[in-house]
């Protein structure tokens, strides 16, 4: 019995390692889908992490899919819908639409329009339309593959695709209103500016002094850690590199650090970092250094 249990445990670990390798290759695609489903690159990463966690739990419990990609996309899709339902309850909206119009399966113009659509524009589509447009026109899945992910018929998929494409055409033709500038907490912005100035000056001792004892660090797609001592080492790793320059900015309306190349500090950011403050201390750092795929379609801007 012990030998049998050991063999079963070994087989499960082998499946988990195989799943981990496949999931790593799919992560950017999963994020591209999830961010467009929920309208946020940051929330989209949360959806991806939730989907991967559910996948690991399912495999550990004995559920091994024949095809990893549609299975993972289905988990991410359902997680995104759960997220939208929770947000809808808090906002009192987000409606589904019945779809029955039939779409032309392949349209280069519609595919380009969907790929160029902003997250905000895609969020104006009902979820049923949004998921089919993103899967078909942004990620290039076939109708058969979409059917596997959504577990629905070709007719329903084509209907949702047609209506979604029509909606995007109307949005593309309409004048775009100027984005409202978010109201910023000036204290948070001053703190962030001080953090950026100290980082660029490589004054890491000053930054370590700002850390809360129970500070949490997330190097997205790499590791999580708690505690002032470990996060202090995180600063040391940055000290050993020369490929970064920090500037203050906004990511999806939130104060953030935009990381650019030192030879082009005013250029496009390569990735970003979010800082959470509590009682004047750094309580959390979320660094996207190892998840630059989140920059695809990201709404960001520089601030003075």
Q: What is the pLDDT of residues 53-76, one digit of tens each?
A: 999 999 888 887 888 999 999 999
Total Cβ atoms within 10 A of residue 87: 14
Total Cβ atoms within 10 A of residue 16: 15
Q: How far is CA 296 from CA 29, 61, 228, in A?
A: 10, 34, 32
- In the chain the domains, ranked by start, together with CATH numbers, are 2-173 (no CATH), 186-302 (3.10.450.50)
Task: Identify the H or E element spanning 287.
Answer: strand 281-287
- Report how far residue 104's alpha carbon sits from residue 219's, in angstroms, rounded to the nearest whole number: 42
Closest CA to 168 of 128, 107, 113: 113
pLDDT for the residue 6: 63
Q: Which residue has the higher pLDDT, 257 or 183?
A: 257
pLDDT for the residue 30: 97
Q: In what order do the strands lie in the sheet with 300-302?
A: 223-226, 211-219, 281-287, 271-278, 254-260, 245-251, 300-302
pLDDT for the residue 13: 86
- Report how far residue 97's alpha carbon sits from residue 17's, in angstroms, rounded to the nearest whole number: 40
pLDDT for the residue 92: 62
Burial 46-67, CB ≥16 within 10 A → b, else e: ebbbbbbeebeeebeeeeeeee
Q: Which residue has the higher pLDDT, 30 or 3?
A: 30
Q: What stretches of the chain show up as alpha helix (H) in DSSP? A: 2-38, 41-60, 68-91, 108-116, 119-122, 127-133, 143-150, 154-173, 186-200, 204-208, 228-239
Total Cβ atoms within 10 A of residue 226: 13
Q: How confident is the model at residue 7 (pLDDT cuts 50, 70, 90)?
A: low
Cβ neighbours of residue 115 closer than 8 Å, sequence gap 6 or more: 137, 138
Q: How confident is the model at residue 232 (pLDDT cuts 50, 70, 90)?
A: confident
Q: What is the pLDDT of residues 237-266, one digit of tens each?
A: 898 888 899 999 999 999 999 999 998 888
> Is the pLDDT confidence value at 173 over 90?
no
- Report how far residue 299's alpha carbon sits from residue 251's, in angstroms, rounded to the nearest whole number: 6
Return the sign of the alpha-carbon dihedral for residues 30, 32, 38, 41.
Answer: positive
* Structure tokens given for 140: 């290039």
Q: How confident is the model at residue 77 (pLDDT cuts 50, 70, 90)?
A: very high
- Report how far residue 118's alpha carbon sits from residue 126's, in angstroms, rounded to the nearest whole number: 15
Mean pLDDT of 75-101: 71
Pick from 22-26, 131-135, 167-171, 223-227: least confident: 167-171
> Is the pLDDT confidence value at 93 over 60?
no
């Amino acid at each position: 019995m012990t030998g049998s249990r050991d063999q079963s445990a070994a087989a499960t670990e082998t499946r988990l390692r195989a799943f981990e390798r496949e999931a790593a290759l799919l992560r950017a695609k999963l994020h591209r889908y999830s961010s467009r489903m929920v309208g946020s690159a940051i929330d989209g990463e949360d959806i991806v992490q939730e989907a991967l966690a559910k996948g690991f739990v399912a495999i550990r419990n004995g559920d091994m899919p024949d095809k990893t990609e549609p299975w993972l996309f289905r988990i991410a899709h359902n997680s995104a819908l759960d997220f939208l339902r929770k947000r809808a309850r808090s906002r009192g909206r987000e409606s589904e639409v019945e779809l029955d119009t039939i779409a032309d399966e392949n349209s280069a113009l519609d595919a380009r329009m969907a790929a160029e659509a902003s997250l905000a524009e895609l969020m104006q589509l009902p979820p049923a339309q949004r998921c089919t447009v993103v899967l078909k026109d942004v990620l290039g899945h076939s109708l058969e593959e979409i059917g596997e992910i959504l577990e629905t018929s070709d007719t329903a998929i084509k209907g949702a695709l047609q209506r979604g494409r029509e909606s995007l055409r109307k949005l593309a033709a309409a004048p775009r209103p100027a984005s409202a500038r978010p109201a910023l907490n000036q204290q948070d912005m001053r703190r962030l500016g001080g953090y950026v100035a100290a980082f660029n000056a490589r004054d890491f001792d000053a930054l370590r002094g700002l850390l809360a004892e129970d500070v949490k660090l997330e190097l997205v797609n790499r590791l999580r850690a708690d505690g002032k001592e470990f996060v202090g080492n995180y600063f040391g790793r940055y000290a050993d590199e020369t490929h970064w320059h920090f500037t203050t900015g906004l990511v999806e309306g939130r104060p953030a650090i935009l990381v650019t190349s030192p030879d082009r500090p005013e250029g496009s950011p390569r990735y970003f970092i979010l800082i959470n403050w509590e009682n004047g201390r750094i309580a959390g750092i979320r660094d996207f250094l190892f998840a630059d795929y989140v920059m695809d379609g990201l709404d960001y801007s520089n601030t003075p």
